[in-house]
Structure 1
Amino acid sequence: MSVFDSSAIEVNTFGFNLPCRQFLISAERTRERKLPMVDEFVLRVLHTVGRISPARLARFFGFEGRDVGIVIAELVDRNLVVFEGDDLALHPAAQELFRTSDASRPRLTSTERLDASVWFDLISKNLVAGRGLRRVRHLIDLRPPEGAAIESSDARSAFTSNFSSFLKLRGDRNVDQWTLYSILDTHPGRFSSAQIHGSERLSLVPDPKLETILPLSEFENRERGRKIQETITSQLRERGSAAPSQAAVTEFSKLTGSTFLRRKLRYDGTVDLSAFLSGDVESSGDWTPFVGSPYIERNRQLIAGLLAVRGGKESTLWWLRPGGLRWGLTEDLSATLELLRSRFRDAQSALTTTLVAPHLTKGVVQHQLLFDRGVHAASGGIALAIEALVIPDLLAAVSVMVHLSPSVVVPIGYATNERSCIRRVWEGLELPAATVAHKPLWSREKQSRADPN
């Protein structure tokens, strides 16, 4: 079944750090609740008639024996009714119970202290959930506009306007019962980030089209969502991908041993994606085609499914990233590395990881926490539009950036677990030789187990 049986498929993902600031707010909130039914109706009668004798009240409700005396005694003890001569009347304090939107129904009001840790994003200055806030180093840091600082007065105003939303974010039940009574104090706290995840989706009908999808439905305020989306779109525009090239297609053909893609290029340099996905790869090996970045969910599962780990042997994953500034700006990258590592742990083995970046590529160290080792390749090596990940003897995946139309660029590639194909990719990349002249950008490799020290 083709991945394009649906109208659009995911080909890349992004993650963003939304800058936030905490405020510690001390407040008072009130809640109205109903009285017991008998008490409520006695008070409603008194509110309507003003005064009434206990005997007439008993006849009105059909009380028998001591029942009316018990009800009246409890209401007197709670300062809700008083005797005026031989008649009953509302206590002055009970009149306050009828100051509601429905003045015919009494409500008890209780007040309680609320000490809240409240977070606001610095772009739209609205509330965000405080759970799990952190800055993820390899995601895109959204930059707040000039003068976007939130003062204590802004926090008080936003908290007042969005009190119900705050209670929902906090997970409170029966939110509608609560009303903000007053704000006692406000103190600014620390800074952190909330994560927003987006993706690029590709559709082919009627013509190839890429659309950036940002799930901003959680931002109930349309103006807020618009501000955040504008910031994301602007900062994505500053981060381009590696440009397709004839040299990259030629390199891809050499690594895979297939000229299929090169022969299927149209006169304008674009690729028929359907033909690529359904075509036969004329090589001696067994290749599985894929479209999109290797780390997106669909391709992650494909690649992990090809991996057959041999127990007791430590292996190294070499991941040659393409050029450009859009690569790996997603938590899908860490999810892919963790999935591959878990396959080795399940087989009582281990996997170390090395990220190889093209010569002079910027923004490499932001992935330092994900890979055990990072290094630049020598200049003049593999084309910038090529991406490859190889675990020698076990797995290889190679992709190349191509034009589907003059304005639509996506990576397409092949993955395999066939040893001869893996060897061809490994020898073609020459990764150890291509990196030996450069000091590692970082290294957390463990000492060899054979090292007596």
Structure 2
Amino acid sequence: MITLEEQQLREHLAVDEITFAIPAQSFAISCAISAEEALPVVTEFALRIAYICGTLSPAQIQDFFGFSKKETDAVLKSLLDERLLQWNDEHLELTTYALARFQDSSDNLPRFFKIQDWSAEVVFDLISFSPAGRPSRLKRVRSQIELATRNLDKQSRTRQYAEQSFQQNFRQICTREKAEIYKISAIDAGERFSIPLPCTFHLDLSGQTSIRRNIDDESFGSRLEIAEAITDALASQERGDNERLRDFIQTFDDTLLQRYVTGDAFDLRRYAQEVHLTRFVRTDDDRVTPVLGALYLPRNAALLLERIQAAMAQPEALVETEPLATEGAESDSKDSAETTHPAQGEALWWAPQSPLWARTRSARDLAQKIEKLLLSQGGERPSAGLQVVVPTARRPPRERLAIYQDQFNRLLAADVVLMGGSVELLIVPDTLVCAMFHFNLAHNATAVPIGFISSAPKHIASAGALVSARMSARPDGVTAAREEGGAAPIENLVQLLARLTPSSEVDVDGPAKRGRARLTLER
């Protein structure tokens, strides 16, 4: 059990959440069990009298309890049928079995076992073959990362492994006190399904900076086979690099991140401690809030929704738009400033290239909440809502779209990446932007998103310029997730991109295109 302080530390240093899908199967099991039970009061007293006296007659039992002859006969029949008393001439005495029950008892109270039928549906995960209680059952969900066992024999002989696990874990499965398996009658294999297992990843700064995972689940958190399966699943994922972090810093003029760059390295440890733990270092602009970790983590999602809702609550407020600087032009010219109305019910969420991005229900929940806020402002306009774009530079569009089909309502794929696929943007036009760079640590499949939420016009304009410039180079590289909608989803994206396109030409893909040295950052 972790302390409250450690729990809070993990929450502040959480960087991602991934839901894994554990293969499981139900089994209908029928068996006979021997269950220890206390005897009825009359039966117990009759046996104790026989134990103390050695022998007794039916008349003595009748007189002691005040029974009628019919009642006495019923008690005697029960004791004889259960092999607790036996006849010795005309008297009754304890059987060897009943006498042993008294002798084995530490308090001279006999305890007896009865053979009873028992049946139930039992669920086992197909990796560790441990009982799973009553878990959530899901059919295949592509957004979750499916786990596989290292022991392929378990997949083909599930019934045999289920029977073996049932015998080993019977006390956990059957909660009746001191019950034991007497005989297994039948084990019938049922449906297969997946058990969702959310896993949180957080920065560990106690030693060498690394990423640790935390499974808050009593059933699966301590199972070695599950941990190995998660390690195998993560090891097979693509990994990014940090070559474009300098471009990200310069594109958004992020002086906060810049102060943690020394030579060719970014000091993630000091950044996390000073900006997000102690909050010793703050931004100079109140409109900018540093963000660590995936946007769909609880604390980040709450902050983002609060910022969007606050902006939507002031639809008539005018926002001053700062022009982007171009070479040979003054960036702070007040004469060229423009004013526009805040966003009216539409937004763009541009995903990074990472195959682990948004692989959890939390991402879907955040998208739905943003969509609800946007639609309350956008009315019936077809383009209203949140449009999610996933890059497909290294995978076929349909393969990439299939992963997120159940996550997002307005989903598209684009054969375009932003800064090598390391950048994630959530843009509410004329209102705010969340810009995140997915920083990679050595030997870790999970990246660390670092960036900011900003309502500063220069940041909103920079993000819009970055997307529109890259999309203009590949105008035909967009695929809609749902073909039945025809060209409408793509047309809606085009209209949204038109709102993001800056009026002046800027270099939005970073200084590397102008021949400046890139910064390869290491942990």
Q: TM-score range by the shorter chain?
A: 0.7 to 0.9
Q: Which residue pairs with 2:230 in the alignment?
A: 232
Q: Which residue pairs with 2:26 in the alignment?
A: 22
Task: State the shift of 1:291 in Å.
Answer: 0.7
TM-score (norm. length: structure 1): 0.78
Q: Does 2:251 align with 1:251? A: no
Would the aligned equivalents of 1:322 and 1:358 in 2 still touch at CA under 8 Å?
Answer: no
Task: State the shift of 1:385 in Å.
Answer: 1.4
Residues in 1 aligned to 2:441 and 2:23: alpha-carbon distance in whole angstroms: 36
Q: Does 2:146 align with 1:141? A: yes
How many residues align structurally?
Answer: 428
Mean CA deviation greater in 105-114 or 134-143: 105-114
Letter in 1 for 2:167: T
DSSP-derived class of the 1:188 partner: strand
Q: Select which of 443, 467, 477 maps to 1:429.
A: 467
Task: State the shift of 1:40 in Å.
Answer: 0.5
Q: Is the alpha carbon distance of 1:382 and 1:52 closer, same or farther for their aligned partners in structure 2, counting shifts above 3 Å? A: same
Matches for 1:58-137 after TM superposition, within 5 Å: 63=64, 66=66, 72-80=72-80, 87-90=91-94, 95=98, 98=101, 102=105, 105-107=110-112, 109=114, 111-114=116-119, 116-134=120-138, 135-137=140-142
Q: Select which of 391, 409, 428 maps to 2:428.
A: 391
Residues in 2 aligned to 1:325 and 1:46: alpha-carbon distance in whole angstroms: 75
DSSP-derived class of the 1:307 partner: helix
TM-score (norm. length: structure 2): 0.69
Letter in 2 for 1:133: R
Q: Which residue pairs with 2:400 in the alignment?
A: 364
Q: Is the alpha carbon distance of 1:445 and 1:126 closer, same or farther for their aligned partners in structure 2, counting shifts above 3 Å? A: same
Question: What do residues 398-419 of structure 1 show as CA deviations (whole Å, max 9, x unaligned)?
Answer: 1113468998962211013456
Q: Is the alpha carbon distance of 1:316 and 1:38 closer, same or farther for their aligned partners in structure 2, counting shifts above 3 Å? A: same
Residues in 2 aligned to 1:340 and 1:10: alpha-carbon distance in whole angstroms: 22
Residues in 2 aligned to 1:101 and 1:315: alpha-carbon distance in whole angstroms: 77
Residues in 2 aligned to 1:263 and 1:75: alpha-carbon distance in whole angstroms: 89
Letter in 2 for 1:426: G
Q: Which residue pairs with 1:242 in the alignment?
A: 240
Would the aligned equivalents of 1:248 and 1:386 in 2 still touch at CA under 8 Å?
Answer: no
Residues in 1 aligned to 2:114 and 2:284: alpha-carbon distance in whole angstroms: 79
Q: Which residue pairs with 1:189 in the alignment?
A: 190
Mean CA deviation greater in 297-306 or 375-384: 375-384
Q: Select which of 44, 59, 65 maps to 1:40.
A: 44
Q: Which residue pairs with 2:356 in the alignment?
A: 326
DSSP-derived class of the 2:153 partner: coil
Q: Select which of 143, 162, 166 maps to 1:159.
A: 166
Would the aligned equivalents of 2:390 and 2:400 in 1 still touch at CA under 8 Å?
Answer: no
Q: Does 2:449 align with 1:411? A: yes
Would the aligned equivalents of 2:352 and 2:390 in 1 still touch at CA under 8 Å?
Answer: no
Letter in 2 for 1:397: C
More helix by share: 2
Runs of 5+ in structure 2 lacking a partner?
Answer: 1-5, 316-342, 489-523
Would the aligned equivalents of 2:141 and 2:406 in 1 still touch at CA under 8 Å?
Answer: no
Question: What do residues 204-237 of structure 1 show as CA deviations (whole Å, max 9, x unaligned)?
Answer: 35653322334464249x7xx1222122112212
Letter in 2 for 1:443: R
Residues in 2 aligned to 1:188 and 1:54: alpha-carbon distance in whole angstroms: 52
Mean CA deviation greater in 425-434 or 386-395: 425-434
Letter in 2 for 1:364: R
Q: Select which of 5, 9, 16 maps to 1:6.
A: 9
DSSP-derived class of the 1:295 partner: coil
Q: Which residue pairs with 1:267 in the alignment?
A: 263
Task: State the shift of 1:5 in Å.
Answer: 7.8
Identity among equivalent pairs (%): 20
